[in-house]
């Protein structure tokens, strides 16, 4: 990824020098080799309603 259109500052925060896009997701590889997202680096942040950002994801079945 080259970056966001007209967003050099935002791009520099998420795209490193090698062109990797850092989402903040934390994942692992399961027993069959598939990548599974298990958490986010910013999951401990609280939004304006005082709920964790990923609370809905935790209680909703997949």
Give the mean pLDDT of 19-26: 81
Lookup: tokens for 8: 């050099």
Q: Would you state the pLDDT for residue 20?
A: 81
61 vs 23, higher pLDDT = 23
In the predicted model, is pLDDT for residue 34 greater than 70?
A: yes
The structural domains of the chain, with segments of one domain joined by +, span: 8-59
Q: How far apart are CA 37 and CA 26, in angstroms?
A: 6
3-state per-residue secondary structure call for the chain: CCCCCCCHHHHHHHECCCCCECCCEEEEECCCCCEEEEEECCCCCECCCCCECCHHHHHCCC
Give pLDDT tens digits for 48-60.
555 555 555 555 5
**Global confidence as pTM:** 0.41
Q: Would you state the pLDDT for residue 54?
A: 55
């Amino acid at each position: 990824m080259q970056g966001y259109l007209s967003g050099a500052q935002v791009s520099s925060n998420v795209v490193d020098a090698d062109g990797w896009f850092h989402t903040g997701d934390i994942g692992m590889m399961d027993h069959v080799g598939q990548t599974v997202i298990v958490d986010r680096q910013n999951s401990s942040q609280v939004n304006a309603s005082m709920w964790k950002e990923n609370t809905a994801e935790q209680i909703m079945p997949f």
